[in-house]
A and B are shown apart, each in its own frame.
Chain A
Amino acid sequence: MAKPASALVEVRNLKKHFEVQKSFLGRSSTLLKAVDDVSFTIFRGETFGLVGESGCGKSTIGRTLLKLYEPTAGEIIFDGQPITRLTHKEMLPYRKKMQMIFQDPYASLDPRMTIAQIIGDPLAVHNIYRGKDRVDRVKELIELVGLKADHLNRYPHEFSGGQRQRIGIARALAVEPEFIICDEPISALDVSIQAQVVNMLEELQERFGLTYLFVSHDLSMVRHISHKVGVMYLGSLVEYASVHDLYTNMQHPYTRALLSAVPIADPDTAEGSERIHLQGDVPSPLNPPSGCAFRTRCPHALHRCAEEKPALKDSGNGHLVACHLLD
């Protein structure tokens, strides 16, 4: 993809800490560092894939970008404009440009609203397309995602998972956003339906020049849809590269282990492939290891890894890696 790219979303040293386990009198509390000092840039018209295991903070990043969570520290710049410290009211015009598609199509649609109400809701919030225009716009949207206008008077329970996800996509597209955060949009769907939804997201991107943040734990789907990929572990970005660089020249031991753990859907390749076995579980984010968070499971951990947290460094070609082994 050799087109001149301009940054749409820039994230600088973003932190999101949650206070948990408050003591009885509220004097002491533990901090859960869900996102700890993460920086990246998403370019216009591209898809940035964010991968990692559960609890690594990938969904929190998505929600913090939309300011559904108030960031603890750091800067979010949308289209050249810092939005980190905007009030709810000041944020409204930006919310129109940033939309979200959620993971669970069963929980993200209100069961008591008709499909027309669900898709028309963002139009009402932003007070655009009034009267008959709104009816037309809703019709246009439902057809855009491959459903029919006579579906509009039905309720969510009458639809399958894949159809519901299409309705969620139509709702996100209603206000003509530039940037859509897709938070595990396909993980609740069957394989054949996943392909339908992913193809549709790609078509819509081409047609409307959309920019996506695609949060997922499915590494092969992220490889398919993304232009740039970030790998997260326990609240930090450990590797960031273009999709080609990342999958052909992965550098961080965690990225390698994560990719080698994906079962290959090909019996011949599966037989010959060598797996990197990670021992144990992801440590608790309430009490993360000192230094590099991955060192407790890393097969190559050094002394230094326990003492010093590695910074993201360019290993050439804009391929960023946070690992002491590469020094």
Chain B
Amino acid sequence: MKLLQVENLKTTFHIDAGQVQAVRGISFHVEKGESIGIVGESGSGKSVSMLSLLKLLPDNATLTADNILFDGAQMVNTSQKAMRKMLGRDIGMIFQDPMTSLNPLFTVGEQIIEPLRIHQKLSKEAARQRAIEILRMVEIPSPEKRLKQYPHEFSGGMRQRVMIAIALSCSPKLLIADEPTTALDVTIQAQILDLMRDLKDKLNVSIVMITHDLGVIANMCNRIIVMYGGTIVEQGTTREIFYKPRHPYTWGLLRSIPQFTEGEKKKLISIPGSPPDLLRPPAGCAFTSRCPYAMKVCEKQPPQSVALSETHQAACWLMHPKAANHMREVIG
């Protein structure tokens, strides 16, 4: 069952210097109960595409899409005001930085209780009971006492647990987590990932996780979307992306993490150059300037997404039948 289906989503920011085409026509879907990882470099459009779905864009942004179906309902033209009714109730969100996403002037309890009162219309006492229950669910010790404390009295890991508690308080169908563990230490990151995995199964919520850490994705997600320069260059199951990657950018991404086989240490293989300027996006494939296998056609025409299996798609000219010879030449 598809929970979310997005077709041809485009987001553009209008700034003095021109138009930044942050997201340039992406299509994907999220099944019920699955967890999807979105990877890509900073500026590849991962966060903006999610914020676009939630209509959390600033005033200078415009959004177009052929379809945004959430649980069967069309959301392309949903106003920000109508969206507010859904945020927190049907869709929960966890942000990267637990230090800035909680309000320092309110107690943690007040911040958990607010969505419960608004969305679920619970009485004060019922909401408080539910808040204690949720804090217990995210494994925060002595929740009764913790409810009355302010965010500064919590450590980074504990704050991220509180964020998860708030995001899940109204039992949403979809949880969007934007780099939820990037600001945390590894041992705390491991705790938070375990918690998210447990809760996903317990509450049957779908998770879209934005991250740049391939390790986190390998441990958390069953499908992966790889973004580059505002487009989706490849998507597939976690195993397809890790073991049968087809796009040169995915190859580069996978090779730039240190590998340790017995004995000799390998030199890291880096991707030369830097990402494209989305104020003036290239006419063809966005990766052309950094791609070691680039052909003439790559500069002129954006490649179409090619289906490699039911779940695996990649957008690269190398997969065109006519490129077979070129492929043999470069790979040897």
Interface flag for A324 (CB, 8 Å): no
| A281 in contact with B260 given A53-B187, A198-B268 (CB within 8 Å) | no
Is B272 a contact of A261 with CB atoms below 8 Å? Answer: no
Cβ distance B146 to chain A, nearest Cβ, rounded Å: 14
Give per-residue flags for A287-304: 1 if the beta carbon is below 8 A from chain B beta carbons, else 0.
000000000000000000
**Of the candidates A199, A220, A268, A278, which one forms a contact with B187 in the assembled complex, judged by CB atoms under 8 Å apart?**
A278
User: How many residues on A have C-beta within 8 angstroms of the other chain's C-beta atoms?
Assistant: 40
Please, how many angstroms separate the alpha-carbon atoms of A211 and B212 in the complex? 30
Please, how many angstroms separate the alpha-carbon atoms of A83 and B186 in the complex? 35
**What residues on B are CB-neighbors of A224 within 8 Å?**
258, 260, 265, 268
For residue B242, which residue of chain A has the nearest CB? Answer: A267
**Of the candidates B188, B213, B253, which one forms a contact with A263 in the assembled complex, judged by CB atoms under 8 Å apart?**
B213
Please, how many angstroms separate the alpha-carbon atoms of A262 and B213 in the complex? 11
Is A191 a contact of B238 with CB atoms below 8 Å? Answer: no
Is B212 a contact of A220 with CB atoms below 8 Å? Answer: no
Is A199 a contact of B270 with CB atoms below 8 Å? Answer: yes
Please, how many angstroms separate the alpha-carbon atoms of A221 and B155 in the complex? 26
**What residues on B are CB-neighbors of A263 within 8 Å?**
189-190, 193, 213, 215-216, 218-219
Please, how many angstroms separate the alpha-carbon atoms of A270 and B219 in the complex? 6
Is A267 a contact of B265 with CB atoms below 8 Å? Answer: no
Q: Which of B253, B254, B267, B268 has the most CB of A within 10 A?
A: B268
Give per-residue flags for B236-252: 1 if the beta carbon is below 8 A from chain A beta carbons, else 0.
00110011000000001
Interface flag for A266 (CB, 8 Å): yes
Please, how many angstroms separate the alpha-carbon atoms of A182 and B23 in the complex? 35
| A199 in contact with B258 given A53-B185, A264-B215, A267-B239 (CB within 8 Å) | no
| A221 in contact with B185 given A191-B214, A266-B242 (CB within 8 Å) | no
**Of the candidates A202, A219, A265, A281, which one forms a contact with B186 in the assembled complex, judged by CB atoms under 8 Å apart?**
A219
Give per-residue flags for B178-196: 1 if the beta carbon is below 8 A from chain A beta carbons, else 0.
0000000111111101100
User: How many residues on B have C-beta within 8 angstroms of the other chain's C-beta atoms?
Assistant: 41
Secondary structure at the B interface, as helix, strand, loop or mixed, is helix
Q: How many residue-residue contacts, CB under 8 A, span A and B?
A: 109
Cβ distance B272 to chain A, nearest Cβ, rounded Å: 7
Please, how many angstroms separate the alpha-carbon atoms of A278 and B101 in the complex? 26
**What residues on B are CB-neighbors of A199 within 8 Å?**
267-268, 270
For residue A254, which residue of chain B has the nearest CB? Answer: B187
Please, how many angstroms separate the alpha-carbon atoms of A139 and B291 in the complex? 28
Interface flag for A97 (CB, 8 Å): no
Binding site for B on A (CB under 8 A): 53-54, 160-163, 190-196, 198-199, 202, 217, 219-221, 223-224, 247, 257-258, 260-268, 270, 275, 277-278, 281-282
Known: A195-B268, A262-B186. 13 other contacts (CB 8 A): A53-B187, A160-B274, A163-B274, A190-B212, A191-B257, A192-B252, A193-B41, A195-B271, A224-B260, A247-B260, A263-B189, A265-B215, A265-B242
